[in-house]
Structure 1
């Protein structure tokens, strides 16, 4: 679960001393050729072992249904019961059977792809277990379940023999992706209840502590832009800075929206207000940013005022999005905020956005997503995030589900881009910032908190690069005949086209 919540007060940008993102260090674990081509890009952390684990290719839906339906039916038959008895057994046995089936299939299924050769090193090469019992249990080629390892690492029961990200890149050599009973218990008793819930009170109790942990905490990995969403790579031939990548993204959002001077813009889940400041300063927009985190509100408004943006032009407002009614905006943006809305409520949320948007307006939606052709590691990683980093955030889905919700809410999709590998490059820089600020973090929050985020940033760097997770950018307009779609053709950009247009207009960088 997340750290206990203590509201520390709104540290502002002037209270922060940022470090330069530390240079990437060479791997200490480069081994023999993995037998498969690898990349050598300067802008991402390249995978030395691009292996695949077990997943949907070996998961039998027919066998799963046979177990779920067949076992209760067989039990009812054995005691001489009928349909009602079978239904009764099905209700009480569903979760135990589900948990057992997942546990067995995740532990014993073959890998999705066996083309990559593993180094075959003993687990002691990568990890040091503190307890003798654990050293005996996990030794030689006896691998540790990754979900169990994560808990042990946070508890200080095991250490990496080197850099966290470096060794996580070789996790296929020392870990398996089987579900643990603790993980399955979290799914049943915590994750499922979050999916069903998402009341106003629940969202505030989960989200406010997450983003009011302290602005300093986030500055120690986000850097000067304080943007907690994916940046964009514009030049894959060099290592762009984190600030360059975030400016690329901010410019891209404004260009894809075809944002004009004087237009009104609503940024839902605005974070620390950097997009609001960028759109106000560079594009002359009148921006309202919404967040339910008080510390973000204080930071964002302070930054707007120091940038010379008056309250009459733009503001960050501490408000639940459900309370924004009775007003229309030319443009709406929501960047990785919808995950906190919840799967069940996405269409309703998008419909509220529809009501807030002018008929000839456009909306930019950026959402983290999951691949349809899943692997078990994807779930283990995602549930770690839900438990420790983003409590209550369950609306990460394949692309088709987002499109369906948007269309049901009355929108028409104008463009879609996938930026998972860009997210990996962003996370790689966040990870290095976090490592560079380790003394500050441990001194303020302690070793366990440092490790929670160290593992999150390292693991997510890998997940977004390999496709376990990704991020979708969607621009939508109202599906009305009064929308003149021809007017949207000049701004129907891909990633690089939008960035190039902003650079050509001299609007692509945020002045600090």
Structure 2
């Protein structure tokens, strides 16, 4: 059963057999929910406000800006990821409780219940690990949260900052090798038999073609050019 459309909301549907229309055309919060202008305003404005209220000398403004930039940056993303609204939300989702969508298998995962939504990375990792089973008609927007898990903050402090400040070719090599030298089995698990990242081309909009068939169409199109 399709969820009711919000007043004034529209989206382009398709009648192509190869492309299915989503039941709930809504996306969880992502990079679109963050605003660099807002972030810059807070980073530059907070020290200015402190200097103005406390009537500190002007030279303290750049000092405070440097000292507070990183904490403000981190706080902005923590707050933003926790309270960010769904992006491109055109329908009213059911809004049920977590336990109405998921059957918890791992008792340790029962901390998530009611309206306590699950960070998206935690959600997907737990699903692959079999910590819960997904009930049909599960709406990820009602279950998942854009909140960044704790490992992200550890990574930000211990890796992102040092590697940004002290960048080297050796660092690039280590990162690229770790990513791409995982073997064919790793990529075949999610890229399929064609082992290519990108999507495909429909040869006939009236046909119901598989992703592999559309990828073959694309490869043929490229080779024929």
TM-score, normalized by length of structure 1? 0.36
Counting only pairs closer than 5 Å after superposition, residues 450-469 of structure 1 correspond to structure 2 as none
C-alpha separation in 1, matches of 2:200 and 2:42? 45
Question: Against the structure 1 CA distance between its residues 95 and 52, is the aligned structure 2 distance closer, same or farther, given a 3 Å change threshold?
Answer: same
In the alignment, is residue 123 of structure 1 matched against residue 108 of structure 2?
no
Hey, what does 1:102 align to over in structure 2?
77
**How many pairs does the alignment contain?**
218
**Equivalent residue for 2:8?**
none
Alignment RMSD (CA, Å): 3.7
Are residues 210 and 103 of structure 1, via their aligned partners in 2, closer, same or farther at CA, if it must alter by over 3 Å?
closer
Cα displacement (A) at 1:79 = 5.8
Shift in CA distance, 62/208, structure 1 to aligned 2, threshold 3 Å: closer
Q: Deviations over 1:302-349 (max 9, x none)?
A: xxxxxxxxxxxxxxxxxxxxxxxxxxxxxxxxxxxxxxxxxxxxxxxx
Q: How far is 1:198 from its partner?
A: 7.3
1:45-93 CA-partner distances (Å, limit 9, x unpaired): 5422111445678756565334212222344456654233221221121
**CA separation of 1:49 and 1:222: change in aligned 2, threshold 3 A:** same
1:68 aligns with 2:43: yes
Query: Which residue of structure 1 aligns with residue 207 of structure 2?
Result: 238
Counterparts in 2 of 1:194 and 1:230: CA distance versus 1, 3 Å: farther
* In structure 1, distance between residues paired with 2:193 and 2:87: 41
1:362-511 aligned within 5 A: none
Give yes or no for contact 2:18–2:210 (8 Å, CA) kept in 1. no
Instruction: Give the Cα separation in 1 of the matches to 2:186 and 2:70.
Output: 38
1:159 aligns to 2:132 (yes or no): yes
Partner of 1:277: none
Q: 1:220 to 1:124 in 2, by over 3 A?
A: same
Say if 2:219 is the partner of 1:250: yes
Does the 8 Å CA contact 2:25/2:89 hold for their aligned counterparts?
A: no
Q: Is the 8 A contact 2:17 2:207 kept in 1?
A: yes
Greater relative contact order (Cα 8 A, min sep 6): structure 1 or 2? 2
Pick the aligned partner of 2:170 from 201, 205, 208: 201
Distance change (3 Å), C-alpha of 1:57 and 1:216: closer
- Whether the aligned pair in 1 keeps the contact of 2:121 and 2:149 (CA below 8 Å) is yes
Counterpart selection for 2:62 from 68, 73, 87: 87
**More strand by proportion, 1 or 2?**
1
- Cα deviation, 1:345-379, whole Å, max 9, x if unaligned, reads xxxxxxxxxxxxxxxxxxxxxxxxxxxxxxxxxxx
Unaligned runs of 5+ in 1: 1-31, 257-512
- Return the match for 1:179 from 148, 161, 178: 148
Mapped contact 1:39–1:47 kept (Cα < 8 A): no
Structure 2 distance, partners of 1:229, 1:116, is 29
Confirm or deny: 8 A CA contact 1:68 1:98 kept in the other structure. Answer: yes
- Following the alignment from structure 2 to structure 1, what is the Cα–Cα distance between the partners of residues 89 and 189? 39
Structure 2 equivalent of residue 140 of structure 1: 114
Q: Which residue of 2 aligns with 1:331?
A: none
Partners of 1:180 and 1:46 lie apart in 2 by: 31
Change (3 A) 1:42 1:56: same
Q: Is the 8 A contact 1:49 1:118 kept in 2?
A: yes
Cα deviation digits, residues 256-289 of structure 1 (max 9, x gap): 4xxxxxxxxxxxxxxxxxxxxxxxxxxxxxxxxx
Match of 1:394 in 2: none
Pair 219,52 (structure 1): closer, same or farther in 2 beyond 3 Å:
closer
Task: Return closer, same or farther for 1:96/1:221 CA change in 2, 3 Å cut-off.
Answer: closer
Greater shift, 86-95 or 174-183, is seen at 174-183
Could you report, residue by residue, the CA deviation over 1:444-478 in whole angstroms, capped at 9, with x for unpaired residues? Answer: xxxxxxxxxxxxxxxxxxxxxxxxxxxxxxxxxxx
Name the CA shift for 1:140/1:229 in 2 (closer, same or farther; >3 Å): same
Is residue 43 from structure 1 mapped to residue 18 from structure 2 by the alignment? yes
Q: Is the 8 A contact 1:41 1:237 kept in 2?
A: yes
TM-score (norm 2): 0.72
Contact 1:35 1:115 in 2 (8 A): no
CA distance in 2, matches of 1:217, 1:244: 22
Structure 2 gaps of 5+ residues are 6-10
SS of residue in 2 equivalent to 1:83: coil
Distance in 1 (alpha carbons) for counterparts of 2:89 and 2:211: 35
Please give the alpha-carbon distance, in whole angstroms, between the structure 2 residues aligned to 1:185 and 1:148. Answer: 16
